[in-house]
Structure 1
Amino acid sequence: MARKRGSKKASGSNSVDLPASKVKNLHHFVRGTWQHGYAQAWTKVQKVYFPYNLKGSHWVAIELDFVRHTATVYDSYIDYTKRSKLVTLLHRISDTLARELFEEVKQKGLTMSMYTPFSVCSIAAVPQQRDGTSCGILTVKFIEHLSAGMSVDKVDTLKIKYYRLKLAIEGLRGEAYL
């Protein structure tokens, strides 16, 4: 039985404490040693983009900016998660990511004055989904646009079916960066 967005079951746990196995995988991303070869060490880039699941039922795109030390959230369904809750929901992951980056910088002998969690902010004017199921594909499109240096305003919510079909075809051909 599918859970409705915002139900008590869906929002029961807001904890983002990462188990040791997840932190181990996080080390691979931070160091750029992920097995699929698409990664670069975070100490060599200015920004990282990734999808993140809020409360187990809603996907958002996150941009980590290492220069500004911010975690910017691009949310296609702002009516589901109010902006004030984003900071609370993302605090632990922001803290964990900052701690991992700080440890990597220290191990490489680079200087970083002190460890501080990323400041969490959100962008208000992003295309909004018209249903309760398009957050995943819109998250993928936001990340594609941002990583290509394009505005997320170019994402057309009327083309959701096309975006899904295109991603499925690219995945079947082995052309998608999954």
Structure 2
Amino acid sequence: MDWQNVYKVYTPFMLTKYKHWEVVMIDLVLCEIKVYDSKVSLIPDDIVKEELAPLSITLPNLLNTIDFYEEGVYANNCSRDWWCPWPIERVDVPQQSNEGDCGMFVLKYIELFSAELPLATCTSHNMPFFRLKLAAEITRGDAYFP
């Protein structure tokens, strides 16, 4: 994979203390971190930002160390000011209505982001269908696991 063609990285992130999964999007162009949380009422914003603060500091340092940013490749000034912590922001997304679906929401968010589809179908009402669909894909060997 040519990292110079990668603009966003989506990854699951576990808030261990809360036993809760979220999606973290690392925007390599805008030098920012977005959090997609299916249960925002569970954890206050300041706690989420505190948990992700090490990433917001370490990531620009790491990218600078490996000379990821070359002149003119990315637009944001933060890419050259490697000591600048990247901002962390929560994004409004469909919310789960129970305590146990955060992992499935994370999988679905990432799947929809990857396909550049809206998150509108990602609802608690649709989670039983998505779980069955995933189980069937795994059983048939159709599930995509890179």
TM range (shorter): 0.7 to 0.9
**Aligned with 1:165 (options 111, 121, 132):** 132
SS of the residue corresponding to residue 113 of structure 2 reads helix
Give the structure 1 partner of residue 70 of structure 2. Answer: 110
Give the structure 2 partner of residue 101 of structure 1. Answer: 63
Q: Partners of 1:164 and 1:101 in 2: how far apart?
A: 36
Q: Which has the higher contact order (CA 8 A, sep 6+)?
A: 2
Give the structure 1 partner of residue 10 of structure 2. Answer: 49
- TM-score normalized with structure 2 length: 0.81
Distance 1:99 1:175, change over 3 A: farther
Distance 1:148 1:109, change over 3 A: closer
- Identity fraction in percent: 31
Distance 1:74 1:58, change over 3 A: same
Match status 1:134 vs 2:134 = no
Range with bigger deviation, 145-154 or 132-141: 145-154
Q: Which runs of 5+ in 2 are unaligned?
A: 72-78
Range with bigger deviation, 110-119 or 152-161: 110-119
Distance 1:173 1:95, change over 3 A: farther
The alignment's C-alpha RMSD in Å is: 2.0
Distance 1:173 1:101, change over 3 A: farther
**Aligned with 2:88 (options 120, 126, 142):** 120
- 1:60-91 deviation per Cα after TM superposition (whole angstroms, max 9, x unaligned): 01111111111100100111111122111111
Give 4+ residue runs of structure 1 displaced > 6 Å after superposition.
Answer: none
2:15 maps to amino acid: L
Q: Partners of 2:144 and 2:60 in 1: how far apart?
A: 25
Q: Is the 8 A contact 2:33 2:87 kept in 1?
A: yes
- TM-score normalized with structure 1 length: 0.68
